[in-house]
Structure 1
Amino acid sequence: MLDNMNFYNFMHKQILILIGLFASTGLSYVFIGSLYSSYLPEISWYLLILLVSLWGYKLYKSYSSNNYSIEEKEKWLSQTRYFLFTYFSIWTIIFFVYVSKDAIELHYIAIATQLGVSVVSATILVSEKKLALFILSFSMLPITIYLTLVGEPYSYLLAILTIVLGLVLLYASRNTYNYLQKSKFQAYHDYLTKLGNRRYFIELLENAIKLQKNDHKYVYLLLIDLDHFKTINDTLGHDIGDLLLCEVADRMTKISKEHGAHVSRLGGDEFCILSSTCKDKEICLKDAIEFANELLDSIKQTYIIEEHHMYISASIGVSIIDNPKMKAGTFIKEADIAMYEAKSLGRDGVILFNDELSIRVERKLEIERFLHFALENNEITLKYQPQLNADSKVIGCEVLVRWHNKILGHIGPDEFIPIAEQTGFIVELGYFILEEAFKTFSDWDKKGIKLDQLSINISMRQMFHNTFTDDVSSLCKKYLNPDLSSRLMFEMTETSVAEDITKLIDTMNQIKQCGIRFSMDDFGTGYSSLSYLRQIPIDELKIDKSFIFELEDANKDANMVKTILNIAKNLDLSIVAEGVETQMQKDFLIKEKCDVLQGYHFSKPIDKESFEEYTRSIEAT
């Protein structure tokens, strides 16, 4: 499709070039005619040139001013071929007119001009191989016949040389054509998979958008990104990874051909597919989802490459092209957003870009933009939620971060923390939280507020940063004595510990040298904790609040809480229950020997001064 588009555009440009060249050169024949007192043939011939030039200009303008469909462009191209053949044939007329005259110098002019026309046809029409061959033969044949009819030895030799020249021009034209085709293929195709590349796809999409203005039909765009492809490259090597990409490309190409779609490789493990046109938007949506799921099923079939049995899935974003005023890059961005949404929802899925997703992404981008100035504008604050033992004594607290922006208002940590992790801002934010928490902990100790522990949430990206252990060590030395350091508790979520278990254990052991302990937060919501409990050096389990919330209504959750408490006791781990909101929940947990309780039943997260007052009020009772 794109090759045809480029060809139409190329032929369109040649029309003006030929009109300018032939119309200006034709004037010289009118001048030559005046020198030999021959006006009528030359002027008549030149008027014919102008008339055909007008035809060509009309073709040029019609292509420029109309958004033709493919069928209409084919009709236009057919007319253009007739125009070109007629245009070049007119020069043969003037050749026969001049060689019929007695003045031998006019013969030379006719031969030179006809040779020039032959060279022009071989050059200008290089991309129209069949037409170039026909016109070149048609232009060279009169010269050969003329020289043969002269009947002299030199003329026979010149006739042979003319044939040789024609063959050379044909050879040069064919070589140029092949070179252009090869160069175009390299410019528009991916070297590895031989699929169209990003440049190819963008031009293809731009042409589809232009056609939509005229056809009022719909097309859809699929953006496919392979899941965990980097793991294959890292473990089996790039050679195996490349072979896998080729196999994936072959599968997608086969299915795409069945649907009349075009597949391209944008780069890495990312592919794009542009569909054929649909008359109805609802049908287009239905086809897009069905096609995407068919692709997923095919991609997930087992691969056998050099004795390696591999499995891979993909995340697919879908964008419906329904607004010809939008740019190609916008539709690719929409599909990209939908694709990353599919990844965030667990991968191996299809997501359609819609207004709701657009609003969510805009909100995310807005948060990301303001977040980078949050520390600078003193918008980040810390809250402290008390932790109490079975005797209702405050033994510690959890440090919780809050953000209030003048424009966005209050943004919850469940919304801005993931964005901070994705952008890397979590490192700077995490350092701020640690420093403020350490200063507060030290200040409380000086005021006589003795806590057994201060719990701080730590992101895996923050923990794996190359300066984290040094930062923690220097902050401990700056603000805390060894006794206070030993009362710190770093909380990690259960689902995050599986990211890189070896690196995690190594980092935890380095941090433990400062005396800091570790807690597994949200325990019970993940899927791999039990296999890691004996491996990672944790000191505490924190029961997720979802289990505590359902204690009053669900026996299953009560049994789950009892099980977690037993696991902690058997592994000699302390246990914290978060999300305690009722007296019944409190009584149940105390009865089951839960070490520490935390939740709104005791206190919501409060600022530093309020926490100090709360602690004193509890001590006074």
Structure 2
Amino acid sequence: MNRQNFYTFLQKHILLMIGLSLLPGLAYIGLAWLNGIAMPALVWYGLMLLVSWWGWSLYKEYRPEQMSSGDLKNWYLKLMVFFYIIFALWSLIFVLYANEVESRLHYIAIFTQLGAAVVASTLLISDKRLFFPVLVILMLPLVIYFSLIGEWYGYVLSIFSLILWGVLLYASDKSYQMLQKNYYQAQHDALTGLFNRRYFVDYMDHLIKRVQYSQKFAYILLIDLDHFKTINDTLGHEIGDKVLIEVARRIKDFCGKDHLISRLGGDEFTIISEEFEYMEHCREISHTFAKKLLQRLKEPYLIERHHLYLSASIGVNGIGHKSSEARHFIKEADIAMYEAKAQGRDGIIVFNEALAKRVEYHLELERRLYFALEHNEIDLRYQPQMNSSKELVGCEVLVRWRNDKFGFVPPAEFIGIAEKTGLIIELGHYIMEESFKTLQTWDAQGIELEQFSINLSVRQFFNSDFLNQVEALAEKYLSDRTRKKVVFEVTETILIEDMYKIIAIMNKLRRIGISFSLDDFGTGYSSLSSLRQMPIDELKVDRTFVSHINKYESDKLMITTILAMAKIFNLKTVAEGVENEEQFEFLKSNGCNLFQGFYFSKALEHRAFETFYLNNREQRQIEMNEEE
């Protein structure tokens, strides 16, 4: 049982025991008075009043939110002494009146002694350190009393008392064991033996009240194993369970007795520290502790001949005076942990106000993104794509979001949110429809483009209705000729999915004229095998390589390698992020086909792109005339 709940449970028994002692005690005084032997009863009752007053003070003294763990232990020791003394007083009244045969008070004494034993075995079964000594205090005088009668029936009664004593001990012990088992199962994780979520939250609630009163501080660590699902998927849940058991053992051995450890579920664990006087000291200790724990968790695991290597993401949060709810601190630690995962996993993040504001910002972005299409806040831009002669031959469609509150929101911020929430399906459909409309309009205006590139999200690509959407929109807006200009750009992250399913979807779209480009090539999951298998027509060289052409020889080698690979597989190439003449000339000299970047133009609005196209065509015409 949670120790604090256990103490609270025992505290309630104080008033019950005082009532069960003082009220029957008055009956003793009355009976003794009638028989002219009231003085021992009065002295005894005076002692009972003193002990009851002490018990009442113990009852009032119990303030769990104001008491440290040491204070609670001291209070419990005093409570044990209270119960020992109050039951010892019942043995005293038995001794005082056990020989009052003429007044028949010895029957009352025997009965109340037996009654006290039953009460003790019933009320105190939650604590073996209480009911065992108390039953000795109550039953031993009875056994001795009956054995001293000197008659055969006295010896029989003495034996019966011993049997009753044994039965009471047996029943109390079995009840105690059953209670402990039930408490353990209710408060511990069945797999690892650590405390469970229920106990953890309960403990947190008590701790928060305590530190708010004491003005002390503690910290909480939220630990999530990185890529643990892979172990379950590849080696099976039985191996996964054994890994969790080993992780729990390492955490327990590392923490010792100064921390409370629990498993919230799955591969998520929590640790709560002892209390500290100063916040800065608490923060410093928490980060150092988390670093050492992470190193311990990363040591190799040998599970049934499998050598496994794990890392973890750890969120750290201080527990102080800013909130009175456990879920508040848990949520903040959870935010810090997910931030550690977002930064590449295998790390530690301490929750702070800057992180809180960033999370709040993203939540507000997410909320407003739901209404962005409804409020006409999503616009498209068109990034010109030039050939080696600097002639405009295509464009890439880019999405922009301008919100009333946040102004211009970069795609790097809201596209990730859209993918996480599923809004990318609706957003992607809107982008595709508006793009097809634009291509249809430009074709009617005589704006001739060789290709028209549209970015696809992985989640959008694998949506069950994606193929039907593309076919319906193409049928509505595009001719057979303009369909062949459409290029769907997919990133390398698509390659972590089912390759056969990818190829099947691509081939169905290729049959209606659409081609594919592999975007950000060289930064992710691509391989020669995937290039050979996938029905793609184009590679896009990532801007990170292009931007470093002037700085790193390695990036030049990477680009020339990519361009050479594209030739081997007969793929067209597009370089992103071209910003100066030197980059353009290097890419051109190494066989790159198309170029886009600020060197030629930024992404343009619909009308601005039309003007850029006309100006570029006019410029090309002038240059051709001059050459003639």
Q: In the alignment, residue 170 of structure 2 is paired with which amino acid?
A: Y
Give yes or no for the alignment of 1:237 onto 2:236.
yes
Relative to structure 1, the CA distance from residue 151 to residue 376 in structure 2 (aligned partners, 3 Å threshold; closer, same or farther) is: farther
Q: Secondary structure at the match of 1:449?
A: coil
Partners of 1:468 and 1:27 in 2: CA distance? 86
Q: For residue 352 of structure 1, what is the aligned residue in structure 2?
A: 350
Q: Secondary structure at the match of 1:497?
A: helix
Contact 2:2-2:203 within 8 A present in 1 as well: no
Q: Secondary structure at the match of 1:334?
A: helix
Relative to structure 1, the CA distance from residue 522 to residue 117 in structure 2 (aligned partners, 3 Å threshold; closer, same or farther) is: same
Q: For residue 607 of structure 2, what is the aligned residue in structure 1?
A: 609
Q: Secondary structure at the match of 1:192?
A: coil
Write the mapping of 1:375-390 to structure 2, written as runs, cut at 5 A. 375-390=373-388
- CA deviation profile, 1:125-174 (whole Å, cap 9, x unmatched): 22331332221121123333333444454444333222211111111111
Shift of 1:302: 2.7
Write the mapping of 1:110-259 to structure 2, written as runs, cut at 5 A. 110-213=109-212, 216-257=215-256
Shift of 1:487: 1.7
Partners of 2:500 and 2:12 in 1: CA distance? 63
Relative to structure 1, the CA distance from residue 537 to residue 326 in structure 2 (aligned partners, 3 Å threshold; closer, same or farther) is: farther
Partners of 1:488 and 1:66 in 2: CA distance? 67
Contact 2:458-2:493 within 8 A present in 1 as well: no
Partners of 1:441 and 1:26 in 2: CA distance? 99
Q: For residue 76 of structure 2, what is the aligned residue in structure 1?
A: 77
Q: In the alignment, residue 243 of structure 1 is paired with which amino acid?
A: K
Range with bigger deviation, 54-63 or 154-163: 154-163
Partners of 2:254 and 2:504 in 1: CA distance? 47
Q: In the alignment, residue 184 of structure 1 is paired with which amino acid?
A: Y
Relative to structure 1, the CA distance from residue 324 to residue 452 in structure 2 (aligned partners, 3 Å threshold; closer, same or farther) is: closer
Give yes or no for the alignment of 1:523 onto 2:521.
yes
Relative to structure 1, the CA distance from residue 554 to residue 246 in structure 2 (aligned partners, 3 Å threshold; closer, same or farther) is: closer
Shift of 1:47: 4.2
Partners of 1:414 and 1:66 in 2: CA distance? 47
Write the mapping of 1:494-573 to structure 2, written as runs, cut at 5 A. 494-526=492-524, 528-530=526-528, 532-552=530-550, 557-573=555-571
Contact 2:483-2:514 within 8 A present in 1 as well: yes
Range with bigger deviation, 452-461 or 595-604: 595-604
Q: In the alignment, residue 209 of structure 1 is paired with which amino acid?
A: I
Q: For residue 272 of structure 1, what is the aligned residue in structure 2?
A: 270
**Count of matched residue pairs:** 619
Relative to structure 1, the CA distance from residue 28 to residue 620 in structure 2 (aligned partners, 3 Å threshold; closer, same or farther) is: farther
Contact 2:2-2:199 within 8 A present in 1 as well: no
Q: For residue 299 of structure 2, what is the aligned residue in structure 1?
A: 301
Contact 2:84-2:134 within 8 A present in 1 as well: yes
Partners of 2:608 and 2:31 in 1: CA distance? 105
Relative to structure 1, the CA distance from residue 477 to residue 104 in structure 2 (aligned partners, 3 Å threshold; closer, same or farther) is: farther
Partners of 1:378 and 1:428 in 2: CA distance? 14
Partners of 1:303 and 1:104 in 2: CA distance? 78
Q: Secondary structure at the match of 2:66?
A: coil
Q: In the alignment, residue 364 of structure 1 is paired with which amino acid?
A: H
Contact 2:215-2:321 within 8 A present in 1 as well: no
Partners of 2:407 and 2:105 in 1: CA distance? 89
Shift of 1:417: 0.8
Contact 2:205-2:326 within 8 A present in 1 as well: yes
- CA deviation profile, 1:38-73 (whole Å, cap 9, x unmatched): 665555544443332221111111112761222222
Q: For residue 616 of structure 2, what is the aligned residue in structure 1?
A: 618
Contact 2:366-2:417 within 8 A present in 1 as well: yes
Q: For residue 393 of structure 2, what is the aligned residue in structure 1?
A: 395
Contact 1:521-1:543 within 8 A present in 2 as well: yes
Relative to structure 1, the CA distance from residue 233 to residue 506 in structure 2 (aligned partners, 3 Å threshold; closer, same or farther) is: farther
Q: Equivalent of 1:582, from 580, 583, 587?
A: 580
Contact 1:379-1:403 within 8 A present in 2 as well: yes
C-alpha RMSD of matched pairs (Å): 2.8
Contact 1:384-1:399 within 8 A present in 2 as well: yes
Relative to structure 1, the CA distance from residue 550 to residue 96 in structure 2 (aligned partners, 3 Å threshold; closer, same or farther) is: closer
Relative to structure 1, the CA distance from residue 22 to residue 584 in structure 2 (aligned partners, 3 Å threshold; closer, same or farther) is: same
Relative to structure 1, the CA distance from residue 379 to residue 81 in structure 2 (aligned partners, 3 Å threshold; closer, same or farther) is: same
Partners of 2:490 and 2:103 in 1: CA distance? 99
Write the mapping of 1:48-87 to structure 2, written as runs, cut at 5 A. 48-64=47-63, 67-87=66-86
Partners of 1:564 and 1:431 in 2: CA distance? 32
Q: For residue 313 of structure 1, what is the aligned residue in structure 2?
A: 311
* Structure 2 residues without counterparts, runs of 5 or longer: 620-628
Relative to structure 1, the CA distance from residue 148 to residue 615 in structure 2 (aligned partners, 3 Å threshold; closer, same or farther) is: same
Q: In the alignment, residue 254 of structure 1 is paired with which amino acid?
A: D
Shift of 1:511: 3.1
Q: For residue 483 of structure 1, what is the aligned residue in structure 2?
A: 481
* Structure 1 residues without counterparts, runs of 5 or longer: none
Shift of 1:435: 2.1
Partners of 2:96 and 2:395 in 1: CA distance? 106
Range with bigger deviation, 182-191 or 425-434: 425-434
Shift of 1:591: 4.5
Normalising to structure 1: TM-score of the pair?
0.91
Shift of 1:364: 1.5
Contact 1:265-1:271 within 8 A present in 2 as well: yes
Q: Equivalent of 1:418, from 407, 416, 424?
A: 416
Q: For residue 360 of structure 2, what is the aligned residue in structure 1?
A: 362
Q: In the alignment, residue 515 of structure 2 is paired with which amino acid?
A: R
Q: For residue 624 of structure 2, what is the aligned residue in structure 1?
A: none
Q: In the alignment, residue 62 of structure 1 is paired with which amino acid?
A: E
Q: Secondary structure at the match of 1:54?
A: helix
The alignment-based identity, stated in percent, is: 49
Shift of 1:592: 4.3
Q: For residue 473 of structure 1, what is the aligned residue in structure 2?
A: 471
Shift of 1:321: 2.6
Q: In the alignment, residue 465 of structure 2 is paired with which amino acid?
A: T
Shift of 1:405: 1.9
Shift of 1:249: 1.8
Relative to structure 1, the CA distance from residue 379 to residue 33 in structure 2 (aligned partners, 3 Å threshold; closer, same or farther) is: farther
Partners of 2:425 and 2:466 in 1: CA distance? 8
Give yes or no for the alignment of 1:323 onto 2:321.
yes
- CA deviation profile, 1:349-396 (whole Å, cap 9, x unmatched): 222222222222121122122222222332222222222323443322
Partners of 1:326 and 1:408 in 2: CA distance? 32
Contact 2:188-2:194 within 8 A present in 1 as well: yes
Q: In the alignment, residue 344 of structure 1 is paired with which amino acid?
A: A
Q: In the alignment, residue 180 of structure 2 is paired with which amino acid?
A: Q
Partners of 2:551 and 2:81 in 1: CA distance? 84
Contact 1:494-1:529 within 8 A present in 2 as well: no
Give yes or no for the alignment of 1:445 onto 2:443.
yes
Q: For residue 430 of structure 1, what is the aligned residue in structure 2?
A: 428
Relative to structure 1, the CA distance from residue 380 to residue 39 in structure 2 (aligned partners, 3 Å threshold; closer, same or farther) is: farther
